[in-house]
Amino acid sequence: MLGQSLLKIRPAISVLRSYSSAAKQMTVREALNSALDEEMSADPKVFLMGEEVGEYQGAYKISKGLLEKYGPERVLDTPITEAGFAGIGVGAAYYGLKPVVEFMTFNFSMQAIDHIINSAAKSNYMSAGQMSVPIVFRGPNGAAAGVGAQHSQCYASWYASCPGLKVLSPYSSEDARGLLKAAIRDPDPVVFLENELLYGESFPVSDEVLDSSFCLPIGKAKIERKGKDVTITAFSKMVGYALKAAEILEKEGIDAEVINLRSIRPLDRSTINASVRKTNRLITVEEGFPQHGVGAEICASVVEESFAYLDAPVERIAGADVPMPYAANLERMAVPQVEDIVRAAKRACYRVVPLAAAA
Amino acid sequence: MNGASCAAKISTQPFSLNPTSPASHDRPLVSPKPASLFLGSTRKLRLSSSSKLNLHRRSGTVVAVSDVVKQKKSKSTHSLLITKEEGLELYEDMILGRAFEDMCAQMYYRGKMFGFVHLYNGQEAVSTGFIKLLKQQDSVVSTYRDHVHALSKGVPARAVMSELFGKTTGCCRGQGGSMHMFSREHNLLGGFAFIGEGIPVATGAAFTSKYKREVLKEADCDHVTLAFFGDGTCNNGQFFECLNMAALWKLPIVFVVENNLWAIGMSHLRATSDPQIYKKGPAFGMPGIHVDGMDVLKVREVAKEAIGRARRGEGPTLVECETYRFRGHSLADPDELRDPAEKAHYAARDPITALKKYLIENSLASEADLKAIDKKIDEVVEDAVEFADESPVPSQSQLLENVFADPKGFGIGPDGRYRCEDPKFTEGTAHV
pLDDT score, position A355: 56
pLDDT score, position A207: 93
Closest alpha carbon within chain A to B198: A87
Beta carbons of B325 and B123 less than 8 angstroms apart: yes
Mean local confidence (pLDDT), A184-204: 96
**Residue A115 falls in the annotated catalytic set:** no
d(CA B381, CA B106): 12
Q: Is A3 on the interface with B (CB under 8 A)?
A: no
Query: Residue B391 to residues B163, B183, B204, B381, B430: CA-CA distances in angstroms?
Result: 10, 19, 35, 15, 45
Beta carbons of B219 and B242 less than 8 angstroms apart: no
> From the candidates A38, A47, A48, A88, which should be mutated to test the interface with B, based on the most B CB atoms within 10 A?
A88
Query: Residue A334 to residues A66, A108, A248, A287, B350: CA-CA distances in angstroms?
Result: 37, 21, 22, 9, 64
Cis peptide, bond prior to residue B191, ω within 30 of zero: yes
Written as one letter, the residue type at A205 is V
B258 membership: H or E segment, kind and range: strand B253-259
Query: Residue B286 to residues A273, B246, B421: CA-CA distances in angstroms?
Result: 58, 9, 49
Question: For B169-183, how does the pLDDT look when each residue is reduced to its tens digit (9 = 90+)?
Answer: 999 999 999 999 999
| Closest by Cβ to A83, choosing from B174, B237, B244 | B237
Cβ-based neighbours of B160, under 8 Å, separated by 6 or more? B100, B147, B150, B151, B170, B171, B181, B384
Q: How far is CA A267 from the centre of its chain?
A: 12
Confidence of residue A22 (pLDDT cuts 50, 70, 90): low
d(CA B308, CA B321): 18
Beta strand ranges found along A135-255 (DSSP E): 136-140, 166-168, 190-194, 202-205, 222-225, 230-234
Mean local confidence (pLDDT), A133-161: 94
In total, chain B counts a number of residues equal to 432
Closest alpha carbon within chain A to B138: A95
Cβ-based neighbours of B401, under 8 Å, separated by 6 or more? A128, A129
% of chain A surpassing 70 pLDDT: 91
Task: Spell out which residues of chain A touch residue B213, defining contact as CB-CB under 8 Å.
Answer: none
Question: Average model confidence (pLDDT) for chain B?
Answer: 83
Catalytic pick among A30, A39, A51, A82: A82
Confidence of residue A323 (pLDDT cuts 50, 70, 90): very high
Q: Is A225 on the interface with B (CB under 8 A)?
A: no
pLDDT score, position B426: 65
Task: Spell out which residues of chain A touch residue B193, defining contact as CB-CB under 8 Å.
Answer: 118
| Closest by Cβ to A119, choosing from B192, B404, B416 | B192
Inter-chain contact A83–B238, Cβ cutoff 8 Å? yes
Inter-chain contact B204–A188, Cβ cutoff 8 Å? no
Beta carbons of A89 and A99 less than 8 angstroms apart: yes
Helices (H) and strands (E) in chain B, counts: 16, 9
pLDDT score, position B59: 34
End-to-end CA distance of chain B: 72
Nearest chain A CA: its distance from B141 CA (Å): 10
Closest alpha carbon within chain B to A7: B432
Beta carbons of A297 and A267 less than 8 angstroms apart: yes
Query: Residue A289 to residues A197, A221, A294, A317, B1: CA-CA distances in angstroms?
Result: 19, 22, 9, 10, 62
Beta carbons of A232 and A258 less than 8 angstroms apart: yes
Inter-chain contact A91–B202, Cβ cutoff 8 Å? yes
A window 153-182, beta carbon within 8 A of B:
163-164, 166, 174, 178, 182
Mean local confidence (pLDDT), A75-90: 94
pLDDT beyond 70 at A237: yes
Q: Is A7 on the interface with B (CB under 8 A)?
A: no
**Residue A151 falls in the annotated catalytic set:** yes
Inter-chain contact B245–A85, Cβ cutoff 8 Å? yes
pLDDT beyond 60 at A122: yes
Interface confidence: ipTM more than 0.90: no
pLDDT score, position B114: 86
Beta carbons of A220 and A47 less than 8 angstroms apart: no
Query: Residue A126 to residues A143, B191, B388: CA-CA distances in angstroms?
Result: 35, 10, 19
Domain ranges of chain B: 84-393, 395-431
B247 conformational bin, left if phi > 0, alpha if psi -120 to 50, beta if neither: alpha
Which domains, from first to last, does chain A contain? 24-210 (3.40.50.970), 222-350 (3.40.50.920)
Task: Spell out which residues of chain A touch residue B405, defining contact as CB-CB under 8 Å.
Answer: 124, 129, 132, 134, 187-188
Task: Please state whether the predicted TM-score (pTM) of the whole model is above 0.90.
Answer: no
A window 250-269, beta carbon within 8 A of B:
262, 266, 268
pLDDT score, position B423: 78
Closest alpha carbon within chain B to A113: B197
d(CA B146, CA B142): 6
Closest alpha carbon within chain A to B183: A130
A window 74-113, beta carbon within 8 A of B:
74, 78-79, 81, 83-97
pLDDT score, position A354: 52
Residue A195 backbone dihedrals phi, psi, to 5 degrees = -145, 125
Q: How far is CA A286 from the centre of its chain?
A: 11
pLDDT beyond 80 at A289: yes
d(CA B90, CA B124): 10
d(CA B368, CA B373): 9
B84-393: CATH topology is Rossmann fold (3.40.50)
pLDDT score, position B265: 85
Can you list the residues of chain B whose pLDDT is less than 50? 1-77, 428-432
Cβ-based neighbours of A41, under 8 Å, separated by 6 or more? none
Inter-chain contact A125–B402, Cβ cutoff 8 Å? yes
Question: For B131-170, how does the pLDDT look when each residue is reduced to its tens digit (9 = 90+)?
Answer: 999 999 999 999 999 999 999 999 999 999 999 999 999 9
Question: For B70-118, how does the pLDDT look when each residue is reduced to its tens digit (9 = 90+)?
Answer: 444 444 445 788 899 999 999 999 999 999 999 999 999 999 988 889 9
pLDDT score, position A351: 56
pLDDT score, position B4: 41
Task: Spell out which residues of chain A touch residue B415, defining contact as CB-CB under 8 Å.
Answer: 14, 213
Catalytic pick among A151, A201, A250, A305: A151
pLDDT beyond 90 at A356: no
Q: Is A137 on the interface with B (CB under 8 A)?
A: no
Q: Is A27 on the interface with B (CB under 8 A)?
A: no
Cβ-based neighbours of A152, under 8 Å, separated by 6 or more? A107, A142, A143, A144, A324
